[in-house]
Structure 1
């Protein structure tokens, strides 16, 4: 019997993966060309991975004894495969072979962090008040220089609270939230979310802050902030992320929509849009913050998500990944 899909989360993932692709494409095309482009990119950065981590945590329940093998098959092997392919692609283009396994660049950090979180889950769940402690550690971690040297470590600290919130969130919690947040509440919370997000993005741009400080890619000092101001900005980042999660859970449809396929195959889109990004980065035809370029980047992002979310690519990808998994562990029992 086929597993019943939760289209609510497919739709959320579909929207988020579009934002991920759009932000990456816009970052090398329209962002530096206009204030509006910079504002939109910064605003998206403030919440899209928070929601993605929440959803990842939500679907990390009940791994049990299969935790180790399952995560190597589903997370680590795909991560290693794409890391090698990206390194080979850069070698072909630039002549330099740099295989960065433990310090992944660009979008691949997410998979390494997800693998780490899932492997640590059996131990994290034994810690009392682990969600509260994870927020505290994330706030304090921006004070230490190791965060800048090992950016994946900083991202792990920053995103762990959202992952744990997703892990401890149940279907019953989602149902209660949707029953409580009727139309007036949804309008109020969504308005607050939009104001907070764009206000924070504008504040970062106006003060010439490194937006990475919100996500713990850099230290507070390196971003030109005092520790107190940095922690205040980080708290704002968490507030925005929580608002985004609440609004998305309450507002997105539970029925199958045009976003559902992209959500179902979001991991394949996430991996392979990296190669499209590399092409765009080396073809400077779309540059500058004009309205036309904004439309072109948006259409290109939508087309990339639509094409890469086709089931054929997912099937091919999983055939390769399953082959590598069977090579490491033997054939899975049906």
Structure 2
């Protein structure tokens, strides 16, 4: 009899780490802006821990996501078959839902599917890559063209939010790196596991590079690779040089991570297997917190922490109905509390202590990731993108393991 190959959880763990880095990046930007507005000169404090964390994350996190997506797109036919249900349909659903979020919370909104709102450009880009991959790989020089487009994307001023062209073209080469990276080539890179000294040197160089970028690099918005160099008052040669540097640094981070991340199953692997609920739902929380001026305040942090605790508890609870009731009641209480205006004087409070601000920022970011990877949000995401066809599965989940055994 054949033996079943044990699953390598390194990829799930890698995705989980990347996914938790995204709310950490967003909270870093929000908190850094607020702290600077209150106590510094009003601009994001790039030369600080805020800048170091934000720059470090954004020189490799989306690049690594694209690399992993390309690596698991080795079957172009399958990639096209799943592109619609996995990426385009969720993009359409959440673009429509976020229209009502903007209208309800901010009082104005414009529904458009041609300029991805919030951070939905990621879904649009992956749909484009995976749907057209079967046609693009027929072109012999696809990888060199992708590399050229990476640099050209920073030169054209008209490319930006429309169809997310700035980012779609900037990150395409990293998707191709993953697609053309064979399992054998990846295993060759993973041989560095046995060479601890090289990994230590690589990590030191990457950290030192982030420190240098904090001091001498461009404004942090540039690292999103969304707009051309004109938007940042740079010279063309500066943009090309910086993009080359990011290309090298992101590659270095990917190589480092695939060598130090364990292959065992753990919480990060669980997060990595359920990335979409965190990515989609935390965006709403992020913008409500930012535009309503709730963060970084003690009340907002306590609310986020409470939902994070519920997320941890919910993974262990057998009675899912009780768990969902706790989520709904807690959400209703939070909305009522903030809507009452009783806590308005607490909005926007940010401690003068930078250390305490860091603790609030990153504890809140981690709890957001934990909160939105709980079963409630996973099932809600499945229901939203799967429609009524997911209702039988939801019913079985609510009934618990005993009900499933009877089916």
Q: 2:378 aligns with which of 288, 293, 314?
A: 314
- Residue 229 to residue 285, structure 1, CA distance change in 2 (3 Å): closer
Structure 1 position 169 matched with structure 2 position 233: no
Conserved? CA contact 1:56–1:166, under 8 Å: yes
Q: Secondary structure at the match of 1:106?
A: coil
Q: TM-score, normalised by structure 1?
A: 0.88
1:62-141 to 2 correspondences below 5 Å: 62-64=75-77, 66-141=78-153
Structure 1 position 225 matched with structure 2 position 218: no
Moved more, 280-289 or 299-308: 280-289
Match of residue 28 from structure 1: 30
Moved more, 69-78 or 191-200: 191-200
Q: 1:284 aligns with which of 294, 319, 325?
A: 294
Q: CA-to-partner distance for each residue in 1:76-96, whole Å, 9 max, x for gaps? A: 111111111111111111222
Conserved? CA contact 1:14–1:261, under 8 Å: yes
- Residue 116 to residue 151, structure 1, CA distance change in 2 (3 Å): closer
- Residue 313 to residue 203, structure 1, CA distance change in 2 (3 Å): same
Larger radius of gyration: 2
Query: Cα RMSD (Å) of the superposition?
Result: 2.4
Q: CA-to-partner distance for each residue in 1:122-178, whole Å, 9 max, x for gaps? A: 122112232222111211232212224637101011101111111122332222222
Q: Secondary structure at the match of 1:231?
A: helix
Find the aligned partners of 1:201 and 1:279 in 2 and give their Cα distance: 28
Structure 1 position 245 matched with structure 2 position 254: yes
Find the aligned partners of 1:279 and 1:94 in 2 and give their Cα distance: 9
Conserved? CA contact 1:14–1:264, under 8 Å: yes
Q: 2:365 aligns with which of 289, 296, 301?
A: 301
Structure 1 position 14 matched with structure 2 position 7: no
Higher relative contact order (CA 8 A, sep 6+): 1
Return 5+ residue gaps in structure 2 as ranges: 37-44, 297-349, 391-407
Structure 1 position 190 matched with structure 2 position 203: yes
Q: CA-to-partner distance for each residue in 1:272-325, whole Å, 9 max, x for gaps? A: 111221232123341478211211111111111112112342233223322378
